[in-house]
């Protein structure tokens, strides 16, 4: 939720008129798309802030995407744990991310491993 809110604030500040956020959090997508937030919900302030920022003269889309389908975002989230706390805006991709960007731009995909339990 925090990443969605931060992204919305950044794009509004930069004057970007179209945004598509993909997240591996089905809960975040559900909260935002269904606008289902109750006052006692711990995410209520975040969802309300997100919904407020979505209002305006711009195109906004949010959708679910499996972690394996977005290796760049997955790598960046792990990379973030190695940096100082706070917002980091990257003008150039970190060296370790280049392979994933190349794979993404050339259409390489990863299969999702699912464990099947025989009953």
Query: Are 72 and 96 members of one domain?
Result: yes
Question: Measured between alpha carbons, how far is 97 from 79 in angstroms, rounded to an integer?
Answer: 9
CATH number for the domain that contains residue 11:
3.30.420.10
- Let me know if residue 42 belongs to a domain: yes
In which element (H, E) is residue 60 found?
A: strand 59-64
Residues 74 and 93 in one domain: yes
pLDDT of the residue at 88: 80
Provide the domain limits for residue 89.
68-106
**Is 114 a domain residue?**
no
The reply to whether 31 and 80 lie within a common domain is no
Ramachandran category for residue 35: left, alpha or beta (phi over 0 → left; psi -120 to 50 → alpha): left
Q: Where are the alpha helices (DSSP H) in the chain?
A: 2-14, 26-34, 44-54, 71-80, 98-106
Give me 28's structure tokens: 């975040």
Which candidate, 40, 38, 67, 49, places its Cα nearest to that of 4? 49
Nearest to 26 by CA among 67, 55, 59: 67
Q: What percent of the chain has pLDDT over 70?
A: 98
Helix (H, G, I), strand (E, B) or coil at 93: coil
In this structure, the answer to whether residues 47 and 17 fall within a common structural domain is: yes
Q: pLDDT at residue 119 above 70?
A: no
Stated pTM of the model: 0.66
pLDDT tens track for 21-48: 888 888 888 888 887 777 778 888 888 8
Structural domain contains residue 115: no
Indicate the number of domains in the chain. 2
């Amino acid at each position: 939720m925090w990443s969605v809110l931060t992204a919305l604030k950044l794009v509004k500040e930069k004057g970007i008129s179209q945004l598509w956020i993909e997240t591996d959090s089905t809960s975040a997508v559900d909260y935002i798309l269904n606008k289902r937030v109750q006052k006692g919900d711990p995410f209520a302030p975040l969802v309300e802030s997100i919904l407020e920022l979505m209002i305006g003269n711009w195109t906004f889309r949010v959708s679910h995407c499996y972690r394996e389908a977005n290796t760049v975002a997955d790598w960046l989230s792990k990379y973030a744990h190695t940096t100082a706390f706070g917002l980091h805006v990257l003008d150039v991709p970190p060296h370790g991310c280049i392979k994933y960007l190349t794979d993404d731009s050339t259409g390489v995909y990863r299969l999702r491993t699912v464990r099947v339990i025989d009953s």
